């Protein structure tokens, strides 16, 4: 605040303001003072000052943060803006970086407590998201009165968990009111609450016990080493209840950042707002990208009338090569005048595509650049619609790998009776690839009657690094993806519930309609027979529930690959096998998939265009990561890689 006040005084250029700002600072009225400073400086400059102070690269202190990671807390709530807790899990957790939604994002994570998966709630926001910060008095009013999701979540946490407060003053009047009201209603039946606090006397401890139901654990002023001792003691006491991975299992934590073009497309009435910049996959939000290096512009919306016309003959998602070409030419048209470098000269560079839910059902991968589909020229990966990476977490891979393969589940089913021998062969061939790579990899293969409802559900909750499903899927009358099994079926929403406690780093569902279903053809949500506004278009598309990409969003799966339409079984199998060959050779998931579908023989196959990837494009499943584009084919040439 001293830094912010100094900058504000210089900007105000009014001598009389200097003493008033200083007096408010000395009085500790930080929230009100921050409000005025932001008014004088402007939001952009104010936030830039906060980021300069609070986003400095600092390693989490091992003495305090490692014991936190090693203790099986149900969840953590922090009012800090920094990422020290997330960084600590990246360093010392065996499972991965947990979900870390901000208070403003809770509306998209309504089932967090029900799912019983560990998460970190950034109650006052994160320094990397300006809009989430709760810093000024205006911000406090906003989160108190205009964010019922946050209030409901905090009330539920306090009623369903024992809580220990560490480094928190408990002076927030709204929070105290919440605890006191619960104490009035539930009395001593409320879950226990403890607070590790500095220099709290007997009288203050009695007041906190009586008014808020908090048992104070006090230590002498200035002796902050007691915090580390307390947290370490708690971690040691909890070790016997924590399931740890065997000593021979290595956690693959390291990321190999890839160069990327981040492209964001958002609708605004009859326009599209587009933002793009060059970055790397460890900074996809562009935190380290100067404003001068970011480009933005507005363009006309998608030509819906023409899109509907060229896809009118598409029945049940069966796109012909001609219809794919026509759709691709129409999709790229609004972006052409903006001069976006979608396909660079020389070696391909990853394209990271950010679109909101109302644009997620558009096959952007088909955009034709230089008369070729975009996804056949550069690796393309989507962000997860509506969720940033921090809020959904990042699972780690392990060595040796645990792999679950399911193929031809309905071969012997009385309910479906539709055997797919190619998918059985696909699962077996992929199993052999992992076995050839290392005899230590633990590969579970379920085919035919082995893929029963009970067995699949049990395996899904067991914690695999890689899950691959090959078979058939369909979209039910409610628009939800359904995967048939030997004696039943599993829905997208059910699959998310199964995976959420131990999400895999990679989920590949090589089944028709497993990814999003394009909003075109006879099943599109836009009717040419009635008067539609652009708002109507986007509202109806936002309400769609197709595809298993919802699993990625809710369950925290690292990377998801799915198919958006009926595919040719043999081609889909070859792409999958090629993909795992490249992945086991050390290539990042986005590059491995690009090489698999852009390789010789695939370029003319429409099936190669029907897949979409979302999540972390730089994930690697081996130690020997090939993270550069050195071995990728040039953008204007065909790949020479063969299976």
User: How many angstroms separate the CA atoms of 474 and 464, rounded?
Assistant: 24
The pLDDT score that the predictor gives to residue 219 is 94
What is the predicted pLDDT for the residue at 190?
76
Which of 367, 308, 380, 329 is CA-nearest to residue 532? Answer: 308
Instruction: Give residues with Cβ within 8 angstroms of 163, minimum separation 6.
Output: 157, 191, 192, 193, 194
Say what the pLDDT of residue 64 is: 96
Edge-to-edge strands of the sheet including 402-407?
294-300, 271-280, 259-268, 350-354, 380-382, 611-615, 559-563, 506-510, 466-470, 402-407, 442-447
Q: At what angle do helices 137-145 and 30-41 cross, to 10 degrees?
A: 110
Per DSSP, the three-state class of 555 is: helix
CATH 3.30.1360.30 given to domain 394-615: no
For residue 245, the model assigns a pLDDT of 62
Structural tokens at position 622: 């081996």
Asked if residue 202 lies in contact with residue 218, where contact means CB atoms within 8 angstroms, the answer is no
Predicted confidence at residue 313, as pLDDT, reads 75
Two tokens, residue 423: 């998918």
pLDDT score of 418: 66
Query: In whole angstroms, how far apart are CA 203 and each of 207, 211, 212?
Result: 6, 12, 14
CATH architecture classification, 259-382 = 2-Layer Sandwich (3.30)
Residue found under tokens 């370029």: 603
Q: What is the per-residue DSSP string for 306-343?
A: HHHHHTTT--TT---HHHHHHHHHHHHHHHHTTT--SS
d(CA 550, CA 495): 10
Q: How far apart are CA 86 and CA 91, in angstroms?
A: 9
Q: What is the pLDDT of residue 544?
A: 62
pLDDT at 625: 58
pLDDT at 129: 84
pLDDT value for 390: 84
Annotate 77-95 with b (16+ C-beta within 10 A) or e (fewer).
bbbbbbbebbbbbbebbbb
Please, what are the averages of pLDDT over each run of 10 residues along the chain (643 residues)?
87 73 86 88 86 85 96 92 93 93 80 84 86 82 72 84 86 69 71 90 89 88 94 87 68 89 92 95 88 92 85 76 90 93 87 91 92 94 86 92 92 69 90 95 93 89 92 76 85 82 92 80 55 68 66 84 88 94 95 89 75 94 63 48 31
DSSP 8-state symbol, 284: T
Give the other-Cβ count within 10 Å of 528's Cβ. Answer: 11
Question: Could you tell me whether strands 120-122 and 76-78 are parallel, antiparallel, or unpaired per DSSP bridges?
Answer: parallel
The residues spanned by each domain of the chain are 2-54, 62-244, 259-382, 394-615
d(CA 76, CA 119): 7
């Amino acid at each position: 605040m001293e830094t912010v006040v100094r900058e504000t005084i210089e900007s105000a250029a009014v001598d009389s303001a200097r003493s008033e700002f200083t007096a408010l600072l000395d009085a500790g009225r930080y929230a009100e003072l921050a409000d005025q400073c932001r008014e004088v400086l402007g939001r952009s400059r104010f936030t830039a000052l906060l980021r300069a102070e609070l986003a400095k690269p600092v390693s989490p202190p091992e003495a305090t943060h490692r014991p936190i990671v090693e203790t099986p807390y149900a969840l953590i709530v922090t009012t800090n803006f920094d990422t020290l807790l997330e960084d600590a899990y990246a360093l010392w957790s065996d499972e991965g970086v947990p979900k870390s939604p901000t208070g403003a994002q809770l509306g998209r994570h309504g089932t967090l407590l029900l799912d019983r998966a560990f998460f970190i709630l950034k109650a006052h926001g994160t320094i990397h998201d300006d809009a989430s910060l709760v810093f000024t008095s205006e911000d406090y009013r906003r989160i108190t009165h205009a964010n019922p999701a946050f209030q409901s979540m905090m009330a539920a946490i306090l009623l369903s968990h024992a809580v220990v407060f560490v480094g928190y003053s408990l002076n927030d009047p709204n929070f105290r009111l919440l605890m006191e009201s619960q104490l009035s209603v539930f009395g001593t039946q409320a879950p226990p609450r403890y607070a590790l606090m500095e220099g709290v006397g007997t009288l203050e401890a009695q007041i906190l016990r009586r008014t808020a139901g908090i048992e104070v654990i006090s230590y002498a002023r200035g002796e902050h080493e007691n915090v580390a001792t307390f947290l370490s003691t708690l971690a040691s006491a909890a070790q016997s209840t924590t399931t740890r991975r065997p000593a021979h299992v290595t956690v693959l934590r390291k990321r190999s950042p890839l160069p990327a073009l981040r492209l964001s497309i958002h609708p605004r009435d009859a326009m599209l707002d587009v933002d793009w910049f060059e970055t790397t996959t460890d900074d996809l939000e562009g935190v380290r990208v100067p404003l001068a290096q970011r480009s933005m512009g507005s363009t006309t919306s998608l030509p819906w009338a023409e899109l509907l016309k060229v896809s009118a003959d598409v029945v049940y998602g069966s796109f012909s090569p001609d219809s794919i070409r026509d759709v691709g030419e129409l999709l790229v048209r609004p972006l052409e005048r903006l001069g976006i470098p979608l396909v660079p000269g020389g070696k391909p560079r990853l394209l990271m595509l950010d679109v909101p839910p109302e644009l997620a059902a558009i096959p952007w991968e088909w955009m034709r650049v230089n008369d070729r589909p975009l996804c056949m020229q550069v690796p393309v990966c989507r962000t997860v619609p509506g969720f940033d990476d921090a809020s959904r977490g990042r699972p780690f891979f392990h060595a040796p790998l645990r792999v679950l393969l399911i193929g031809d589940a309905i071969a012997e089913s009385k309910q479906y009776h539709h055997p797919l021998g190619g998918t059985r062969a696909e699962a077996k061939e992929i199993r052999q690839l992992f076995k050839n790579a290392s005899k230590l990899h633990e590969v579970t293969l379920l085919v035919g009657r082995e893929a029963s409802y009970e067995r699949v559900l049990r395996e899904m909750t067991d914690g695999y690094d890689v899950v691959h499903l090959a078979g058939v899927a369909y979209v039910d009358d409610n628009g939800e993806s359904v995967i048939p099994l030997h004696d039943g079926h599993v829905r997208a929403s059910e699959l998310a519930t199964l995976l959420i406690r131990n999400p895999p780093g990679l989920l590949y569902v090589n089944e028709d309609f497993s990814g999003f279903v394009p909003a075109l053809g006879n099943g599109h949500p836009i009717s040419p027979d009635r008067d539609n506004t652009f708002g109507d278009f986007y509202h109806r598309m936002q309400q769609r529930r197709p595809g298993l990409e919802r699993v990625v969003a809710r369950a925290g799966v690292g990377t998801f690959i799915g198919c958006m339409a009926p595919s040719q079984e043999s081609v889909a199998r070859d792409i999958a096998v090629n993909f795992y060959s490249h992945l086991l050779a050390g290539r990042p998931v986005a590059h491995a998939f690009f090489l698999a579908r852009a390789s010789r023989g695939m370029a003319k196959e429409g099936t190669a265009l029907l897949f979409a990837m979302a999540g972390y494009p730089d994930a690697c499943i081996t130690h020997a990561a090939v993270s550069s584009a050195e071995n990728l084919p040039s953008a204007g040439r065909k790949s020479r890689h063969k299976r």
